[in-house]
Amino acid sequence: MTWKTPRHTLDLTQRGLIMGVLNVTPDSFSDGGCFFDPDTAVARAAEMESEGADILDIGGESTRPGAEAVGLAEELRRVLPVVRSVRAQTQCLISIDTTKAAAAAAAIEAGADIINDISGLRADPDMAAVAARTGAGLVLMHMQGTPRTMQHQPAYQDVVHEIQTSLRQCIDAALAAGVAREAIVLDPGIGFGKTLEHNLAILRRLDAFSLDGRPVLLGVSRKSFLGKITGSADRKWPTVALTSYACEKGVRILRVHDVKENVQSLRMTEAILRE
């Protein structure tokens, strides 16, 4: 199983990847405001690299439930200086977390390798063309609704089957635009238009989302449903537990805030599973 990006073709057969979250926003759900200053963000990127991150996912627009949209100019003001500095100072792959084709194109020109589109190409009709033209890795995520509406009574008849169907449509749209199949990664979108019960159903069936043999990315880090289950405000250790579980279920990329702990969980689990 490989993942093609402009600078590397990554072999994910036996070694998964840790994607470190770097939100340069004032209002993200867990770390909003912590890394809004560019210098602080770049320092955090270097720290995550030292802790073992393979990818740094840089986002300039909060996607927490109820978040308001950010204009293109403001998003670019937030992310481009950070992308340029991180590219100059680290060896990590860089992902741009955006639904805007123009923001993705500018970030790739500044040094990003991957587009992480939570809308699965639905928010901007030009996104697939940007991915095809640049050769960027492309993460396609499932979301019911938008960040502003997604938690308003999400409903499914069969959550796993409906996500599979939606992701197949995303793959078809990407391929039709000229995106290489090997560039695509799929994300079932935990917490994006899902209840606690939906999230658990997805986690039980993680192996169902590797459609067309494409790798799966999972983003559960610090999400509120973890606290609902454990009754604790500390969501780091449930995330670490899910990293190990997801690895066993075949997930190849884990998107996390707490890099060091999740790297250790992933490597330990891989060592046990390796024959």
Q: Which residues are known to be catalytic? A: 223, 255
Q: Are 83 and 111 in contact (CB under 8 A)?
A: yes
The Cα–Cα gap between 118 and 82 comes to 20
What's the residue count for the chain?
Answer: 275
Q: Which residues contact 163 (CB under 8 A, 6 or more apart)?
A: 142, 188, 189, 202, 209
Which residue type sits at 156? Y
SS3 160: helix
Place of tokens 């899902």: 194
Among candidate residues 19, 10, 4, 9, the one with its CA nearest the CA of residue 132? 4
